[in-house]
Structure 1
Amino acid sequence: MSKRKKNLEKVIQQCQKTLDKIEEELAKPEPKLTLYDIEMGNFDEVPRAILREAKREIKIMMQILDKNEYMPDYTYPLIDSYSIDTELCDLLFETKIIYEKYT
């Protein structure tokens, strides 16, 4: 197997791992947050709107597999959200880095 093919396989596996984690998170009941909770960052989950957008973009990444043709931008809302120190957030950033490095 060529090095490029191995790298692309690595990207696909990482994307799938991230999609699985997003699905797992979206399957959980949505927490009831007050406006105060949101403003103060009193939650430890990535907002669902960001997760849905990341899911959409990761599916595109898996199809295109070329950073010159498509780069996701779901990380920008993550940086602005209060959930930057979560395991899922780390996984989302890692996925983008791997995509950028290996495609």
Structure 2
Amino acid sequence: MPEQKTFVAAEIGLHARAAAVFVRAVTETGLPVTIRKHNGAPVDARSLLEVMTEDFDQGCEVYLNIAPEDLSGDQTIPMAERALFALSAVLEGTQAR
């Protein structure tokens, strides 16, 4: 399963604007990405409400995942891995949006 460990750099965590920027980036990938805290239950990273209610604070270690069985059509594991890396950059604040 493609997985990327990263952290939340936004000063206020994934709330309001930062969450919206992240969810928009996830949606643009067209992939079924989930996000979770260490030992936490995964939530749909395409859902602003789910992301905001999980309380991902600044510095919080998170895991982005895509289950291979959720890939469809021409979506490949290498494509999923590249997308997770790019989404990690969004969370870490290293990619301008």
Shared fold by TM > 0.5? no
Bigger CA radius of gyration: 1
Q: When you count helix as a share of all residues, which structure comes out higher?
A: 1
Structure with the larger strand share: 2
TM-score normalised by length of structure 1? 0.35
TM-score by length of 2: 0.36
